[in-house]
Structures are given as C-alpha cells and as structure tokens.
C-alpha cells in the first residue's frame, strides 16, 4: 500500500486525509494518507523520515517545499511555491495545484467568468504565490497584489513576469486602488482571528470575495465582504477539494470526481467549522 501525507502547522484539523480517503474509495486505489505536523525547522527531516511516495504541503511550508525539490513544474517555478511533492528517483519533484484548484472552483462550481476581471490579491506568501499564475492564465485584466511588507509584493510581481497586468502595492495603498471584481484573501492573519483593516471602497455591487481559508479561519474576511456589499462571499473549501483532485491525478494518473466529496465536506465543516488546510 502506498503512503502519502500532508505536512504543515497547524495540521491536526486537516481535511486532506478525509478527501484522499474518499478519492481512494471512488477510484479503487489502495493508499494510506496521514497528517504530519511540521514547521520550518523540522520539515525536511520529517519528510525524509516519513517514507511517503508523495505529499501535500500547506502553510507555512510551501516555499520551503519548493527549495527542497530537485525539479519543479513550470507552474511551481512561476509560483516559487510547491503544494504537491512526487518522489522522483532519490529526490522530489514539486508541483503546485492550488491555482488550478481555485480557478476550477470559481469557474466550474460557482460559474464565474474571470476574463477581463480586475482582481485584488491580499497577501504575497506561499498561498498567494500558488494562485497568482493561474489567475493570470485564466485571462484576468489586472492583478493587484497588496501585502503589509511591500517588498514581498514586489518580489511576487517580479516572479510572475507580467508587468503590464501585475501591480504590487503596500497595504497602506489599498484605499487608493478603487473597486475590484474579485477580491482574494491569501493572508494567514485571519487564521488567528486578526483581519487587517480593509477599506469598503474596494467593493463594487457585483464584486466576489473569496478566502483561501475555510471554516473558522474564513469567518472574519467573509463577514467583512458581506458587510461591504459583495455579491458573493466564498470560502476556500471548493479550492481545497479541487487542488486535492489535481494532486491525486498527478500521483495516480486518474482525476476523481469532486462534487460528492465537496458536498460531504461542506456538511462536515458546517457541523464543526475548525480550521484545517
């Protein structure tokens, strides 16, 4: 039986083992999938000791995982972050399925047309790096990256290599940016219940807000989005399922169906909204 894991911190409430167990039953593939707590200081050691054939990586380790890889996919290179590891010889190949998972959820599950949309991305860490390339590939008009450390926003913009569409900004510039069609929260701050101050002028009547977190971690941002008048306020649960399906496909060569798994997770999170991946 092949063995897989998700690494991150905190990881106790991760839904990834539930998701991959459901995918395994659906496809008839025998596997073991566990959650392993790891931080910056011990991730490499725990990964090496785990004996896994592949792994998912969540906060705060996506950039650490990128640095560990012997080779990386083109989309991981653009992101500078990895959320999926595949054993390759005696090393690791890294990929990033976060962005594709987000775009699939927004376009296929929620019916959004991302073409020519003005998008605000809050945050410039591993989560933001994972989704930014896919948003650009989906045909958005422009991507504004706002981060409390402006240098990190600049670094992500440079990595994306699309100066005509990508505009890094410091957090203090938010009030001057106008309205956005899509607002994406990729910060980790809301995991501790601390929502940075956001001007409501960012929101237009038809704006859509999405938090890459789900459960308790998404409550503060989604409450702000509703209060500001967003037409839709979405959490990251659908993205979690879709990116997991892409990882599963990379490991096993078959992409599972996601709708039933998403429905089961939605019911589970509404019953017990603890923070997870």
Binding residues for NADP(+): 123-127, 147-152, 212, 236
Helix ranges (H only) for the chain are 16-27, 43-50, 62-68, 74-79, 98-104, 126-137, 150-160, 219-228, 237-252, 259-271
Residue 32 CB burial class (10 angstroms; 0-12, 13-18, ≥19): middle
* Given 62, 78, 104, 118, the catalytic residue: 62
CB 106 within 8 A of CB 87: no
Q: Is 62 a catalytic residue?
A: yes
Annotated binding site: 14-16, 58, 83, 98, 123-127, 147-152, 212, 214, 236, 243
Q: 81-109 as b/e, with b when 16 or more CB fall inside 10 Å?
A: bbbbbbeeeeebbbbbbbbbbbbbbbeeb
Catalytic residues, by residue number, are 62
């Amino acid at each position: 039986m092949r063995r897989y894991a998700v690494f991150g911190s905190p990881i106790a409430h991760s839904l990834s083992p539930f998701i991959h167990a459901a995918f395994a039953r659906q496809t008839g593939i025998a596997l073991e999938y566990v959650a392993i707590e790891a931080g910056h200081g011990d991730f490499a050691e725990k990964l090496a000791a785990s004996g896994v054939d592949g792994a998912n990586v969540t906060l705060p380790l996506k950039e650490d995982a990128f640095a560990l890889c012997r080779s990386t996919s083109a989309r991981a290179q653009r992101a500078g972050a990895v959320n999926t590891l595949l054993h390759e010889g005696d090393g690791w190949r890294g990929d990033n399925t976060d962005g594709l998972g987000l775009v699939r959820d927004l376009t296929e599950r929620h019916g959004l047309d991302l073409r020519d949309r003005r998008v605000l991305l809050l945050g410039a860490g591993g989560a933001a790096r994972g989704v930014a390339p896919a948003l650009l590939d989906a045909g958005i008009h422009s991507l504004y990256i706002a981060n409390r450390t402006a240098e990190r926003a600049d670094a992500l913009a440079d990595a994306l290599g699309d100066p005509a569409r990508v505009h890094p900004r410091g957090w203090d510039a938010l009030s001057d940016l106008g309205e956005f069609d899509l607002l994406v929260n990729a910060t980790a701050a809301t995991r501790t219940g601390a929502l940075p101050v956001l001007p409501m002028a960012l929101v237009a009547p038809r704006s859509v807000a999405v938090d890459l977190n789900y459960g308790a971690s998404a409550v503060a941002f989604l409450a702000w989005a509703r209060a500001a008048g967003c037409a839709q306020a979405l959490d990251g649960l659908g993205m979690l399922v879709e990116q997991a399906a892409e990882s599963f496909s990379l490991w096993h060569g078959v992409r599972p169906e996601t709708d039933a798994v998403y429905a089961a997770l939605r019911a589970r999170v509404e019953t017990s909204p603890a923070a997870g991946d």
